[in-house]
A and B are shown apart, each in its own frame.
Chain A
Amino acid sequence: MVATALTEARVWELLDEVLDPEVPVLSILDLGIVRGVRVADGQVTVDITPTYSGCPAMNTIATDIRLRLLAEGIANVTIHNQLSPAWTTDWMTPAGRQKLQAYGIAPPVDGTATGHVLNLFGQDTAVRCPQCQSDNTRLVSQFGSTACKASYQCNDCYEPFDYFKCH
């Protein structure tokens, strides 16, 4: 009964309730990792893409998607893991960026996802401290607590913080 009324729009709504296990204030839609949804003959197909090749959360996310859909009686689900086109932080939604900031993680600086990387000793500019909003911050390490984050420190309030690095 549920399956006959099922629309792609409804699946997207349900997917917006699936949270990223590592940054649980973001939905997987905020993160931009859901690349497609198809509904045909009661069969649901969801395309997801990893943020990083080794993202350990992908299996958990796939399980969480199945569980959320199952709770609505949708059992016939295929999840495709798609590598190309490769995920970029430019796909993160404006709402997602605001949620990250409020959670204490600096969101990726918009539109700088490519081109800067081999600038040795360079860092992303205008990374704003999520605690005191100062732009006077410094890179501590390009690698942080998860694959998608870098470690920064604020030069004004001295708080160390995570930066969701451009990718």
Chain B
Amino acid sequence: MQAVPSESAALATYPAEVRQQLFQYVLQLADTSLILGHRLSEWCGHGPILEQDLAMANIALDLLGETRSLYQYAAELEGLGRTEDDLAYLRAAVEYRNPLLVEQPNGDFAHTIVRQFLFDNFHYPFLQQLKSSPDERLAGIAEKAVKEAAYHLKWSSEWIIRLGDGTPESRQRVEKAIASLWRYAAELTTPTTAEKALQAACIIPDYATLQPAMAAHLAHVLEEATLPTPPASTFALAGGKQGRHSEHLGYILTELQYVQRAYPGLTW
């Protein structure tokens, strides 16, 4: 009964190698939105106040919608008959391609906000550029998601400011979260081999071109929050985009994939 996605005329025209790189890349984007959306959905019913509980559930839903569009496209690119459900529910942790940042546990509210802000500050300018991709499917998904990502960035930016320029307690918590999560931020803009190839082919944005907007917004928000700028030389933790994950991802997948593994082939 589901509506069928419109077909991509360009699909057949990619050389096999590019198509494989694009598959890996679209999978990486989908995994990233899925895992972050799952983390946010863990807050549902546990948020500090009702409105923010709803906000996190709303953002999770936006990310899940983006995830579905991406998995549907990835499944078509792969062309082996796997579906969006197979890609989400029947892959092991080492096959997931999300950066480490998004699988980090929620911690306290400040920790969740900092994780979200670091992601949103990449996601929004990234989607703005991806809208212009010559790949019509990616451009269409980005055109849709960028409007939602703008609301996400506004939300997480405002909370960084409230917490940083808030009470001694909120400030201490947000500082601790930045100290803990900053080391994961660089992975977002460090391209993998597939990303480099797709950037060279001008199919996806060159991350270097995102840096000015990202740095400017980060500086603006931290200044408003009266928070210090994290040191540029921090040791970066990475590897998620190559399938080398922290122990947290296995626990997420255990919960996320439970029903499909308990009842193989189940559909709605």
Please report A residues at the B interface, Cβ cutoff 8 Å: 48, 50, 52-56, 58-59, 62-63, 66, 78-87, 117-121, 140-145, 147, 151, 167
**Could you give 17 example pairs across A and B, Cβ below 8 Å?**
A53-B148, A56-B61, A62-B3, A78-B4, A79-B4, A80-B6, A84-B144, A117-B150, A118-B157, A119-B154, A120-B221, A142-B155, A143-B51, A143-B54, A144-B54, A147-B62, A167-B147
User: Is the pair B3, A121 in contact by a Cβ cutoff of 8 Å?
Assistant: no
Nearest CB in chain B to that of A165: its residue: B151
Question: Can you add 17 more A-B contacts, CB < 8 Å, to A56-B61, A118-B153, A147-B58?
Answer: A50-B65, A52-B62, A53-B62, A53-B65, A54-B61, A58-B3, A62-B3, A63-B1, A66-B1, A79-B4, A84-B144, A117-B150, A120-B157, A120-B161, A143-B54, A144-B54, A151-B51
Q: A62-B2, A80-B4, A145-B54 are in contact. Are A86 and B143 (CB under 8 A)?
A: yes
Main secondary structure of the interface of A (DSSP, over half): loop
Task: Say if the beta carbon of B177 comes within 8 Å of chain A.
Answer: no
**Is the CB of B204 closer than 8 A to any CB of chain A?**
no
Using CB atoms, name the residue of chain B closest to A151: B51
Contacting A53 at CB < 8 Å: which of B2, B5, B69, B139? B69
Q: Please report B residues at the A interface, Cβ cutoff 8 Å.
A: 1-6, 51-52, 54-55, 57-59, 61-66, 68-69, 136, 139-141, 143-145, 147-148, 150-151, 153-155, 157-158, 161, 217, 221, 224
- Bound complex: CA of A167 vs CA of B55, how far in Å? 16
Are B150 and A53 in contact, CB atoms less than 8 angstroms apart? no
Residue numbers in A under 8 Å from B147 (CB-CB): 86, 117, 167
